[in-house]
C-alpha cells in the first residue's frame, strides 16, 4: 500500500513541501493529498511595490490549481478539525481524511479586530486587496504626516515594514512631495528591528533619509477622532495617513483542534519540525511558533529538510538530518538597493553591503518563486 501523506494548506509552505515530496517519491510509493481553499496564490513580498505603482499586481498572483505538480491530489475544501491522536482530519464538506504522515502548513491570519478603529483608520499591504486600496490612498496624498509600523509581533516577513518605508520615501521624492511629508516609523522593541546588527544598519539608513523612528512603541489604541496612536508606554503619535501591519494569529482551526499556543501557533521541535510526541505530524511555515522569520523563504528551507526526511523514511531509511533554522532573505533599502541576509538558529545575520544586484534579485523574485521555488525544483 502506498504511504498516505496529507498536507493542510495551499499557500507557500503547503505548495512547496507537496511539490518537493512528489519529486522525491515515486507515485506508486506515496499518495500526496493537499487540502486548501485559497481563491488565489499571492506573492506577498510584492506588497511593498504594488501600492507605489512599481509593479502590476497581475504578475504577483496565480491560481493555486495550476501550481501543483502532476501526481498531487489537490482538494478544494476547508479543514474544520485535526485529530492527531486518531490520525484523521475533518473538512467542511463532511468528508474525513486519514493519513500516515500529516504536514500542517495552514499559515496564519490577519486579525484587524484586535484594535478598535483599525479597519477604518489603518491601511496595509499584507493582502492583495489592501495593497491596491493603499495605492489609491497614496495617489491622493499630497503632504502631511505618515506613520508606518507593525501593530504587534509576530508578523509575516519581518523586514517588510521598514522595506516599505524606504520605498515610500523614494516614492514621495519622485512625486516631489517628500519635503511636505513627515515620515515616521514605529517598532515595539527597543530598536528598529528584531535583529540587533540589522537594526543598526536600518537605523543608519533612517537617519540618512530623514525618517523619524519611535522604538518601544507597543500599540494600545487608535483614536479615530483625533487621528492619534496611543502606545502601552504612554506615548502618543498623530498621523494623517496610517499604514500598520495588522495583528497576526494562527488559524482558528489550530486552536479549535487543541494544537495552539495563546497566539494560535503550534509549538514544534525546532530541529525536527515535529509536533509533540508524534513522529508523523509536522508543522512548517507561518503556522509554527519557531523563533525565526515567518516568510516564504523559511518555508522553503524547512521544506528542503522535511521532504528529504519523509522521502528517506518512505524508502525504508532513517534520516539523520536536522533543520538548523536556516533562512535567506533579500531586503530592500530604497533607491533600488538591497542586501541579502543569511542566518540560522546559531548564526546571526550580517547586514553588509547594499547592491543593485540584490535589488534586482528581489525585484524578479516573483518569477523565480512561481516558476521554481513553488515547484520544488530549488
Query: What percentage of residues in the chain have a pLDDT greater than 70?
Result: 99
Report domain extents, the chain.
3-41+62-107+251-325, 111-247
Segment 309-330 mean pLDDT = 93
Residues 261 and 267: their CA atoms lie apart, in Å, by 7
Residue 351 pLDDT > 80: no
DSSP 152: S
Look up the pTM and report it: 0.96
Residues 3-41+62-107+251-325, CATH architecture: 3-Layer(bba) Sandwich (3.50)
Report pLDDT digits (tens) over 175-210. Answer: 999 999 999 999 999 999 999 889 999 999 999 999
- As to burial, measured by CB atoms within 10 angstroms (0-12 exposed, 13-18 middle, 19+ buried), residue 268 is buried
User: Which fold does the domain 111-247 belong to in CATH?
Assistant: FAD/NAD(P)-binding domain (3.50.50)
Long-range contact set of residues 194-197: C-beta below 8 Å, sequence gap at least 24:
194/153, 194/158, 195/343, 195/348, 195/349, 196/348, 197/348, 197/349, 197/350, 197/351
- Average the pLDDT over 215-233 and give the result: 98
Instruction: Provide the 3-class DSSP secondary structure of residue 368.
Output: helix
- Whether 3-41+62-107+251-325 and 111-247 share one fold: the answer is yes
Q: For residue range 156-169, what is the model confidence (pLDDT) as tens digits?
A: 999 999 999 999 99
Amino acid at each position: 500500500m502506498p504511504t498516505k501523506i496529507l498536507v493542510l494548506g495551499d499557500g507557500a509552505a503547503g505548495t512547496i513541501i507537496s511539490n518537493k515530496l512528489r519529486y522525491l517519491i515515486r507515485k506508486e510509493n506515496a499518495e500526496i493529498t493537499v487540502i486548501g481553499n485559497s481563491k488565489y496564490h499571492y506573492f506577498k513580498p510584492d506588497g511593498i511595490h504594488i501600492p507605489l505603482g512599481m509593479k502590476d499586481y497581475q504578475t504577483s498572483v496565480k491560481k493555486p490549481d495550476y501550481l501543483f505538480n502532476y501526481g498531487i491530489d489537490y482538494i478544494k475544501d476547508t479543514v474544520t478539525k485535526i485529530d492527531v491522536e486518531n490520525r484523521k482530519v475533518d473538512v467542511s464538506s463532511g468528508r474525513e481524511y486519514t493519513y500516515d504522515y500529516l504536514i500542517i502548513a495552514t499559515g496564519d491570519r490577519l486579525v484587524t479586530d484586535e484594535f478598535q478603529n483599525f479597519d477604518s483608520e489603518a491601511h496595509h499591504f499584507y493582502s492583495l486587496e489592501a495593497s491596491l486600496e493603499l495605492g489609491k490612498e497614496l495617489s491622493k496624498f499630497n503632504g502631511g504626516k505618515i506613520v508606518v509600523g507593525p501593530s504587534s509581533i509576530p508578523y509575516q516577513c519581518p523586514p517588510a515594514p521598514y522595506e516599505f518605508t524606504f520605498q515610500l520615501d523614494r516614492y514621495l521624492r519622485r512625486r516631489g512631495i517628500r519635503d511636505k511629508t513627515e515620515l515616521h516609523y514605529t517598532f515595539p522593541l527597543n530598536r528598529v528591528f528584531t535583529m540587533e546588527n540589522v537594526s543598526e544598519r536600518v537605523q543608519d539608513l533612517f537617519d540618512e533619509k530623514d525618517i523619524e523612528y519611535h522604538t518601544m512603541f507597543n500599540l494600545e489604541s487608535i483614536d479615530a477622532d483625533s487621528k492619534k496612536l496611543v502606545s502601552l508606554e504612554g506615548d502618543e503619535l498623530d498621523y494623517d495617513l496610517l499604514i500598520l501591519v495588522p495583528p497576526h494569529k494562527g488559524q482558528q482551526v489550530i486552536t479549535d483542534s487543541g494544537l495552539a499556543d495563546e497566539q494560535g501557533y503550534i509549538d514544534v521541535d525546532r530541529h525536527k519540525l515535529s509536533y509533540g510526541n508524534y513522529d508523523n505530524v509536522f508543522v512548517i511555515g507561518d503556522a509554527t511558533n519557531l523563533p525565526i522569520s515567518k516568510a516564504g523563504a523559511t518555508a522553503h528551507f524547512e521544506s528542503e529538510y522535511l521532504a528529504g526526511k519523509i522521502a528517506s523514511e518512505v524508502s525504508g531509511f532513517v534520516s539523520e538530518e536536522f533543520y538548523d533554522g536556516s533562512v535567506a532573505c533579500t531586503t530592500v533599502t530604497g533607491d533600488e538597493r538591497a542586501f541579502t541576509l543569511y542566518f540560522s538558529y546559531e548564526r546571526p545575520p550580517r547586514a553588509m553591503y547594499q547592491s543593485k544586484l540584490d535589488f534586482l534579485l528581489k525585484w524578479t523574485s516573483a518569477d523565480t518563486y512561481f516558476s521554481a521555488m513553488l515547484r520544488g525544483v530549488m
